[in-house]
Chain A
Amino acid sequence: MTAPAAPLALLAELTHRCPLRCPYCSNPTALTRPGEELDTATWARVFREAAELGCLQVHLSGGEPTARRDIADLVRAAGGAGLYTNLITSGVLTGEAKLAALAEAGLDHVQLSVQDAEPGSADRIGGYRGGHARKLEFARHVQDAGLPLTLNAVVHRQNLDRLPAMIDLALALGAARMEVAHVQYYGWALANRDALLPTRAQLEAATATVEAARRDLKGRLVIDYVVPDYYAKRPKPCMGGWGRQFLAVSPAGRVLPCHAAESLPGFAFPNVRETSLRAAWEESEAFNRFRGTGWMPELCRGCERAEQDWGGCRCQAFALTGDAANTDPACALSPHHAVLSLAVGAAAEAGEGFTYREPQRDVHRVPG
């Protein structure tokens, strides 16, 4: 068997520690404790192995990556390995001096998340008072340091109506790029789905806003936008296909085809403490299980889109059907597709309260 094509990017989840408590956090609901985190030297080895394997970019993420005291050393190690370094941050832990140290260490790009354009709402969603103001201050430091900035706006029912203001904020903060990211409903977000799912009217207004802004701001702001699964007819090509372009390493060293895959049952994910990144990518059962099209159910295998959307998202298939090997129910051809419209209906009747992300709170909840 020939080796699979090399991955393009590594997501390094340096820690699950984070001062924010966003109810749609993409981390697993069972968070890794600080004592289990990989040390500096191990991460440096992971970065070298990723570059040798063919990765071109590393996304330094978490949790909040700057909660690690060695973050500047990690940036330097990743850049030294030849990787393009992107810091994915909430911005609230990084003052001017720490940012200067990161720039000095060779950081290539900063991606800053915001919870809303309206400070009171932003602080409520992030579960962190004063957070929004600190983010704005951080963005000014990024601009002063001459680092390129992407603003990441995670959108849902409780902030989507202020999307135009969030686009204005991106411009005011000097961002050249913006991601308008609809919440993906796994882990914490699935537990909060009723409070977060947008209405169809909101979604249509948001899509029109993005299209108009792209036209008006051509050459000033690039906007990446993905329509949420719950209103889609076909699934997204999750991660560009399992084990095709992308790998993630968890704070405790587990090598994953996507950062959410850790919560899938019945997997023995390889760990960088015991194996090389290359062996994990090329030989592990976990990466090979859903690689390509051979694993697919009949429905996907005969589909002309099999190699476009790769059967969609394995985590969503598990979360909503109980079997990770099923067709993603976001596909209208899936026999389980109705669970998405049922969820939309349930959310329309629900309130706005959140179950916040907490280290000790593990919300095992699979909506029926």
Chain B
Amino acid sequence: MQGTSIPRLAPGMKLREDKARGQWVVLGPERMFVPDEIALEVLRLVDGARSVEAMVDDLAARFAAPREEILADVVALLDDLAAKGVVRA
């Protein structure tokens, strides 16, 4: 992933609220991931239209951290989710 990449959920992957357990989950075929708080904030911004840069702008406006730091974290997180087959660039 790079700043200009436009990530989207991989085919078959869905972000859903799991009310019974008070959490959000990513559902796929015979698979389920429970994202931590930071991953959830990032996944909520993954819509197949927004670039990584635009996602970082949104996060920088809401969280008190240097923009460059947020960018590095978001790229690392999306790379990890891509390796698990949850998102695609």
Q: Which of A56, A146, A222 contacts B32 (CB 8 A)?
A: A56
How many angstroms between the C-alpha atoms of A148 and B28 in the bound complex? 10
For B32, list chain A residues within 8 Å (CB): 8, 56-57
| Residue A86 at the chain B interface, CB threshold 8 Å | yes
Contact code string A8-47 (vs B, CB < 8 Å = 1, else 0): 1000000000000000000000000000000000000000
Check if B29 sits within 8 Å of A56, measured CB to CB. no
How many angstroms between the C-alpha atoms of A52 and B19 in the bound complex? 9
**A86-B83 contact, Cβ under 8 Å, with A148-B11, A148-B12, A176-B11:** no
How many angstroms between the C-alpha atoms of A179 and B30 in the bound complex? 10
Check if B30 sits within 8 Å of A146, measured CB to CB. no
For A109, list chain B residues within 8 Å (CB): 12, 28-29
Check if A54 sits within 8 Å of B12, measured CB to CB. no
Check if A57 sits within 8 Å of B85, measured CB to CB. no
Check if B16 sits within 8 Å of A82, measured CB to CB. yes
Shortest C-beta distance, A179 to chain B (Å), equals 8
Which residue of B is nearest A150, CB measured?
Answer: B29
| Residue B61 at the chain A interface, CB threshold 8 Å | no
Check if B29 sits within 8 Å of A6, measured CB to CB. no
| Residue A108 at the chain B interface, CB threshold 8 Å | yes
| Residue A68 at the chain B interface, CB threshold 8 Å | no
| Residue A301 at the chain B interface, CB threshold 8 Å | no
Q: A-B contact count, CB below 8 Å? A: 49
For A222, list chain B residues within 8 Å (CB): 85
Q: Which of B14, B21, B29, B83 contacts A177 (CB 8 A)?
A: B29
How many angstroms between the C-alpha atoms of A148 and B14 in the bound complex? 12
Check if A176 sits within 8 Å of B85, measured CB to CB. yes
How many angstroms between the C-alpha atoms of A222 and B13 in the bound complex? 14
Q: Which of A57, A148, A219 contacts B83 (CB 8 A)?
A: A219
Check if A57 sits within 8 Å of B27, measured CB to CB. yes
Shortest C-beta distance, B29 to chain A (Å), equals 5
| Residue B65 at the chain A interface, CB threshold 8 Å | no
Q: How many B residues touch A, CB cutoff 8 Å?
A: 16
For B11, list chain A residues within 8 Å (CB): 146-148, 176
For B12, list chain A residues within 8 Å (CB): 108-109, 147-148, 176
| Residue B18 at the chain A interface, CB threshold 8 Å | yes
Contact code string B18-37 (vs A, CB < 8 Å = 1, else 0): 10110001011110100000
| Residue A192 at the chain B interface, CB threshold 8 Å | no
For A179, list chain B residues within 8 Å (CB): 30
For B16, list chain A residues within 8 Å (CB): 56, 82, 84
How many angstroms between the C-alpha atoms of A224 and B85 in the bound complex? 14
Which residue of A is nearest B84, CB measured?
Answer: A222
Q: Which of B20, B27, B28, B85 contacts A53 (CB 8 A)?
A: B20
How many angstroms between the C-alpha atoms of A295 and B30 in the bound complex? 29
**A6-B20 contact, Cβ under 8 Å, with A86-B29, A111-B29, A150-B29:** yes
Check if A56 sits within 8 Å of B18, measured CB to CB. yes
Check if A224 sits within 8 Å of B30, measured CB to CB. yes
Q: Which residues of A approach B to under 8 Å, CB–CB? A: 6, 8, 52-54, 56-57, 82, 84, 86, 108-109, 111, 146-148, 150, 176-177, 179, 219, 222, 224
Apart from A54-B20, A57-B27, A84-B27, list 14 A-B contacts with CB within 8 A. A6-B20, A6-B21, A8-B32, A52-B20, A56-B25, A56-B27, A86-B30, A111-B29, A148-B11, A148-B12, A150-B29, A179-B30, A219-B83, A224-B30
